[in-house]
């Protein structure tokens, strides 16, 4: 039997991530996927400002290190 993660998916609109969290996906690995949109990977490390926005839910991610 598998367990779901405790963090609700897409509960916030802004998230900070670290390089250790890469590859970045929305919802993240810590979020429950069952009540969210399909997982999409965001190439945040390739962005000049190290920011990315999810095309499904609009959540904004910022790479801080």
Average pLDDT over residues 43-47: 96
Residues 6+ apart with CB under 8 A from 23: 41
Distance CA 15, CA 50 (A): 12
Domain boundaries, the chain: 14-63
pLDDT at 56 over 70: yes
Under 8 Å CB-to-CB from 29, ≥6 apart: which residues? 5
58 membership: H or E segment, kind and range: none
Which band of pLDDT confidence, cut at 50, 70 and 90, is reported for residue 49? very high
- Taking Cα atoms as reference points, which of 20, 61, 19 lies closest to residue 40? 61
pLDDT level of residue 35 (50, 70, 90 thresholds): confident
């Amino acid at each position: 039997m598998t367990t779901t993660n405790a963090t609700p998916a897409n509960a916030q609109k802004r998230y900070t991530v670290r390089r250790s969290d890469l590859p970045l996906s929305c919802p993240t690995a810590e979020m429950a996927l069952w009540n969210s949109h399909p997982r999409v990977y965001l190439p945040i490390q390739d962005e000049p400002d190290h920011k990315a926005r999810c095309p499904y839910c609009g959540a904004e991610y910022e790479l801080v290190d």
